[in-house]
């Protein structure tokens, strides 16, 4: 997680945690839903900051995020795989339940699970 804009980057930028053998998993708020976690907790500008930090990592990362043109632009240059999925409980209540997420990573390797 990238902390609010006024906080330090924390463990993701620390040499203690970042190494070529490290793997970071990031699941930030959906783009466009930043206020869902509370006012001021995550600003849209944090996506740009997150991408900048991820470009500096020595380790690997996997980021899951909703698919929007802005997210594609912010994380351009990384490997992006689109995943189509269906939400069963919440999706049924909201309508179709069909969604697209992006799996963003630094490396080309895929687990073949999706």
Query: Where are the domains positioned within the chain?
Result: 10-105
Give domain 10-105's CATH superfamily: Vaccinia Virus protein VP39 (3.40.50.150)
What's the confidence (pLDDT) of residue 86? 78
Provide the residue-wise pLDDT of the chain in tens; the chain has 114 residues: 444 443 445 556 667 889 999 999 998 988 877 777 778 888 888 899 999 999 999 999 999 999 999 999 999 999 999 988 777 765 555 566 777 889 999 877 655 554
- Cβ neighbors of 75 (< 8 A, separation 6 or more) are 51, 63, 65, 102, 104
What pTM did the predictor assign?
A: 0.73
| 3-class SS of residue 78 | strand
């Amino acid at each position: 997680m990238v902390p609010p804009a006024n906080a330090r980057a924390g463990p993701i930028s620390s040499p203690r945690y970042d190494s070529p053998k490290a793997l970071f998993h990031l699941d930030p708020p959906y783009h466009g839903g930043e206020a869902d976690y509370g006012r001021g907790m995550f600003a849209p500008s944090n996506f740009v900051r997150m991408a900048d930090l991820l470009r500096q990592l020595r380790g690997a990362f996997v980021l899951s995020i909703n698919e929007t043109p802005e997210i594609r632009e912010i994380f351009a240059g990384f490997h992006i795989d689109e995943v189509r999925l269906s939400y069963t409980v919440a999706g049924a209540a909201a309508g179709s339940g069909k969604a697209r997420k992006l799996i963003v990573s630094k490396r080309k390797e895929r687990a073949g699970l999706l």
